[in-house]
Structure 1
Amino acid sequence: MKLTLDSSTFNDLQAKFTAEIVTRIKIKLQEAGVEPDQLEDLTAGIALSIAGVIDDLAEIEADGVEVHPYLTFRTDDETLVHWGENAYTYEQVYGAMRKLFHSAR
């Protein structure tokens, strides 16, 4: 596989990835019967927690081994696109939340 630095493609794919995570969290919370007045706050809290792990903001250590994720996206069978540093899905959660909870109002 070829690792390619492409910030524009990475940004677009990361935004879609983050929006999908936020959407799936909301759906699962709704399926679990979470009250509508709690849905937005719980979705945001869970999404931000997951984003912090993806972005390597949370310290992860298991059995004495530090774990440092590095997000890439496969654009075809031979190419991985990256940003050149840690992902920033945490920052994109807010935009995804706005679209999901406030664009239809």
Structure 2
Amino acid sequence: MGFSEDYENTVSICIGGVECDLVFFESDLSDPCWLATEVHAFLVVYSIDSKSSWKKALMALEMIRDQPNCRNLPTLVAGNKIDLERKRAVTKQGKFG
């Protein structure tokens, strides 16, 4: 059983003619299984209206950087819930607003 088969939130996508699995899962960060060696990239998503969400995203980024097999992998950070711009708690520069 592979890494992507362990999670229900797996979507098969085609990138440049190559079929890939995109695995979505939430983590409380205490279980480092998401730092598996089979990962090719990370997408860290946080909610722009939540300071705690941003703090968790920063913790995840730090964990990625501290893991030798992950630190050089492509890592994207995305702010979610842009429709809540008036309730933004995290500035576009990554500071609390």
Task: State the TM-score, normalizing by the size of structure 2.
Answer: 0.28
* Structure with more helix by fraction: 1
Task: State the TM-score, normalizing by the size of structure 1.
Answer: 0.26
Bigger radius of gyration among the two: 1
